[in-house]
Chains A and B, each alone.
Chain A
Amino acid sequence: DSGVTQTPKHLITATGQRVTLRCSPRSGDLSVYWYQQSLDQGLQFLIQYYNGEERAKGNILERFSAQQFPDLHSELNLSSLELGDSALYFCASSPTPGANYGYTFGSGTRLTVV
Chain B
Amino acid sequence: QQQVKQSPQSLIVQKGGISIINCAYENTAFDYFPWYQQFPGKGPALLIAIRPDVSEKKEGRFTISFNKSAKQFSLHIMDSQPGDSATYFCAAIYTGTASKLTFGTGTRLQVTL
Contact residues in B for A50 (Cβ distance below 8 Å): 98
Judge if B101 is at the interface, Cβ distance under 8 Å.
yes
From B95, B102, B106, A100 is in contact (CB under 8 Å) with B95
Chain B contacts of A58 at CB under 8 A? 100
Bound-complex Cα distance A33 to B98 (A): 11
Q: Do B106 and A42 touch (CB < 8 A)?
A: yes
CB <8 Å contact, B43 and A33: no
Which chain A residues lie closer than 8 Å to B43 at the CB level?
2, 4, 90, 92, 105-108
A104 adjacent to B46 (CB under 8 Å): yes
- We find that the number of chain B residues with CB closer than 8 angstroms to chain A is 27
**0/1 interface trace, chain B 18-41, chain A, CB 8 Å (1 if under):** 000000000000011010100001
Type the 1/0 row for A55-99, where 1 means its CB is closer than 8 Å to any CB of B: 110100000000000000000000000000000001010000111
Are B102 and A97 touching (Cβ within 8 A)? Answer: no
**Alpha-carbon distance A106/B43, docked complex (angstroms):** 6
Does any Cβ of B come within 8 Å of A43's Cβ? yes
Using known A-B contacts A100-B51, A102-B34, determine if residue A56 contacts B46 with beta carbons closer than 8 Å: no
With A42-B104, A102-B49, A105-B45 known, 8 other A-B pairs at CB within 8 A are: A33-B101, A45-B100, A48-B100, A56-B100, A97-B98, A98-B96, A98-B98, A102-B46
Using a CB–CB cutoff of 8 Å, the interface residues on chain A facing chain B are 2, 4, 33, 35, 42-43, 45, 48, 50, 55-56, 58, 90, 92, 97-108
Interface residue ranges, B against A (CB under 8 Å): 31-32, 34, 36, 41-46, 49, 51, 89, 93-106
